Amino acid sequence: MQYDLEAIRSQFPALSVRDGDTPRVFFDNPAGTQVPQSVVDRMSDCLLESNANLGGYFRTSELATTVVGEAHAAMADLLNAPSADEIIFGQNMTTITLHLSRSIGRQMQPGDEIILTRMDHDANVQPWVLLARDLGLEIKWLPFDLGSFEFDLSLLDDLLSDKTKLVCVGGASNLIGTINDIKTISRKARDAGAWTYVDAVQSVPHVSTDVQDLGCDFLVCSAYKFFGPHQGILWGRREVLEALEAYKVRPAPDQLPGSFETGTQSHEGMAGTTAAVDYLAWIGESMAGEFQDKNQKYEGGRRRSVHAALDCLFEYETGLVTQLIDGLQQLPGVRVQGITAKDAMARRVPTVSFTVDGVPPATIAESLAKKNIFVWSGHNYAVEAAMALGIYDAGGAVRVGPVHYNTKGELDALLLSLDEMLPRANVA
Ligand SMILES: Cc1ncc(COP(=O)(O)O)c(C=O)c1O
């Protein structure tokens, strides 16, 4: 019942692909993870055996209906949703948010206020900025502390008012890696009479997510960030979703979840999403025994197993991020743009961004790519955060995002490559 990295890695065919003799090192995970074979198989089975639209009398249509139902149930387990009907599938987080913002906006009057943060990905910023522009709403901004890389939630108290209708916040930052205190933020918003819309795209792959415990009203994530296919998912509190007008065509159902799932969905994406959740459950069952005990509050079976798995993965990833930050801090001119204190690792995901004095982030990403080490550079769509950190104009940061299938050896290789390239880049 120990964490078995070899067994994990053997599930992911992409991890053994080589270019010539050189292995691929995937540290681009915050932008999209690799998938286990089981995800590919489930998607291919869906396309080969259940490829039909819903609601027909024939076999493939019945099977497609099963695929869709299973996917809603799987996501309800992953997020501890009270009901599978509260799970809405869509193309991706951004599209779902732009779509839902229309329905949410129907509940607002000119002069109402939305609170956004300077830490969030633009997908949880611009949909609301556009809504505010269209409806005459006010936007208020919650900054983060540039020393601690966290929110000072007393500032949220100052921003909340009886005009606040919505607080939009990320579960974890895709740039600086901070995990936000969604439970407290949701409570404060609720006390002020506002809903909370959580962009959990970067937290769900790393942190056990329990919408009932968090107390938020909406939570959105993307399966391609948690070892599944390109697929967006929203959880919404039933009474809130039912209070909204769904923007839909007439023949679409009036009931949840179909009322918000516009047009024909990607059934193969749903099948792959179920397989990604089942993959996590497999980890929970086969190597997360002690974490199963800590997750007794979840009814047994898959729900408990996925939450146990995520706790187990978080522990492993904490080891990786500690090693990564330690190594980066020993390199000349490197500045980690995020939490670095060893005793604060529980407050961050393993996504680490850094800048190097005098060296453009793109230069570093390009040099690493030559060694088949995949990282991203730039602002990574966290536009407000990059601007707040003062790194936007200089090309953002280099972002290294290990996940549970990465190894300490891969991090050593990255750190060694950086060590070799940085002094030379500095001299140039
Ligand atoms: C924090 C965060 N939110 C939203 C998104 C957008 O997700 P999607 O591609 O599903 O629209 C991303 C993508 O990287 C992200 O990191």
| pLDDT tens track for 75-131 | 999 999 999 999 999 999 999 999 999 999 999 999 999 999 999 999 999 999 999
Co-location of 374 and 260 in the same domain:
no
Q: Give the pLDDT band (50/70/90) at residue 299.
A: confident
Q: Each residue of 300-337: pLDDT tens digit? A: 799 999 999 999 999 999 999 999 999 999 999 999 99
Mutate to test the pocket of ligand 1, among 93, 99, 168, 209 (most ligand atoms within 8 A of CB): 93
Asked whether residue 225 falls in the same domain as residue 316, the answer is no
The ligand 1 atom at the shortest distance from the C-alpha of residue 171 is: 1
Residue 424: predicted pLDDT: 53
CA distance 299 to 245: 33
Q: What does pLDDT average to over the chain?
A: 97
Q: Whose CA is nearest to atom 13 of ligand 1?
A: 31
220 C-alpha to ligand 1 centroid (Å)? 9
How many C-beta atoms lie closer than 10 Å to residue 255's C-beta? 10
How many CA atoms, within 13 angstroms, populate the side-chain half-sphere of residue 327?
A: 20
Question: How far, in Å, from the CA of 32 to the mean position of ligand 1?
Answer: 9
Length of the chain: 428
Residue 428 has pLDDT above 90, yes or no: no
**Does the structure show a pLDDT above 70 at 426?**
no
Q: Give the position, in ligand 1's atom list, of the atom nearest the Cα of 199.
A: 3
Are residues 298 and 290 in contact, defined by beta-carbon separation less than 8 angstroms? no
Gap from CA of 239 to ligand 1 centroid (Å) = 26
Taking residues 244-273, what's their average pLDDT?
A: 97
CB 402 within 8 A of CB 350: yes
Provide the pLDDT for residue 427.
Answer: 46
Binned at pLDDT 50, 70 and 90, residue 34 comes out as: very high
* Per-residue pLDDT tens over the stretch 142-191: 999 999 999 999 999 999 999 999 999 999 999 999 999 999 999 999 99
In a domain, 318, yes or no: yes
**Span from the CA of 119 to the centroid of ligand 1 (angstroms):** 13
33, pLDDT greater than 70: yes
Please tell me what DSSP assigns to residue 352: E
Q: Are residues 106 and 136 in the same domain?
A: yes
Q: What pLDDT was estimated at residue 401?
A: 98
Kindly state whether residues 237 and 111 are assigned to the same domain.
Answer: yes
Query: Residues 258, 337: one domain?
Result: no
For residue 301, being part of any structural domain is answered with no
Q: Is-contact 278 302, C-beta < 8 A?
A: yes
Same domain for 237 and 362? no
Whose CA is closest to 411, among 358, 347, 377, 368?
Answer: 368
> Would you say residue 66 lies in a domain?
yes
Q: Could you tell me what percent of the chain has a pLDDT over 70? A: 98
Percent of the chain with pLDDT over 90: 97
To test the pocket of ligand 1, the residue of 202, 209, 266 to mutate (highest count of ligand atoms within 8 Å of its CB) is 202
User: Among the atoms of ligand 1, which is closest to the Cα of residue 173?
Assistant: 1
Q: Give me Rg for the CA atoms of the chain.
A: 22
Locate tokens 């994530």: which residue? Answer: 221
Boundary residue ending a domain (276, 304, 320): 276
Q: Which of 132, 126, 87 is nearest to 112 (CA)?
A: 132
CA distance 260 to 401: 32
Shared domain check, 202 and 70: yes
Residues 186, 47 share a domain = yes
Task: Compute, in angstroms, the gap from residue 94 CA to the centroid of ligand 1.
Answer: 7
Atom of ligand 1 nearest to the CA of 232: 10
Q: How far is the CA of 93 from the centre of ligand 1 (A)?
A: 6
Mutation probe of ligand 1 site: the residue of 381, 383, 384, 403 with most atoms within 8 A of C-beta: 381
* CB 149 within 8 Å of CB 187: no
Percentages of the chain per state (helix, strand, coil), in multiples of 5: 50, 15, 35
Q: How many Å lie between the centroid of ligand 1 and the Cα of residue 206?
A: 15
From 250, 276, 302, give the residue that closes a domain. 276
Same domain, 105 and 160: yes
CATH number for 359: 3.90.1150.10
Tens digits of per-residue pLDDT, 224-245?
A: 999 999 999 999 999 999 999 9
Q: Given pLDDT bands bounded at 50, 70 and 90, which one contains residue 1?
A: low
Which of ligand 1's atoms lies nearest the C-alpha of 380? 14
Residues within a 6 A CB radius of ligand 1: 31, 92-94, 121, 123, 170, 174, 199, 201-202, 222, 232
| Domain region containing 420 | 5-36+312-427
The best mutation among 121, 182, 224, 376 to test binding of ligand 1, ranked by most ligand atoms within 8 Å of the C-beta, falls on 121
Domain CATH code at residue 241: 3.40.640.10
Residues 348-387 have pLDDT tens digits of 999 999 999 999 999 999 999 999 999 999 999 999 999 9
C-alpha 280 – ligand 1 centre gap (Å)? 21
Atom of ligand 1 minimally distant from the CA of 95: 11
Shared domain check, 139 and 101:
yes
Domain finish residue from 232, 261, 276: 276
Find the 63 Cα to ligand 1 centroid distance in Å: 30
**6: exposed, middle or buried (C-beta count within 10 Å: 0-12, 13-18, 19+)?**
exposed
Residue 217 shares a structural domain with residue 267:
yes
Same domain, 94 and 150: yes
Domain total of the chain: 2
Counting ligand 1 atoms within 8 A of each CB, the residue from 118, 126, 198, 199 with the most, and so the one to mutate, is: 199
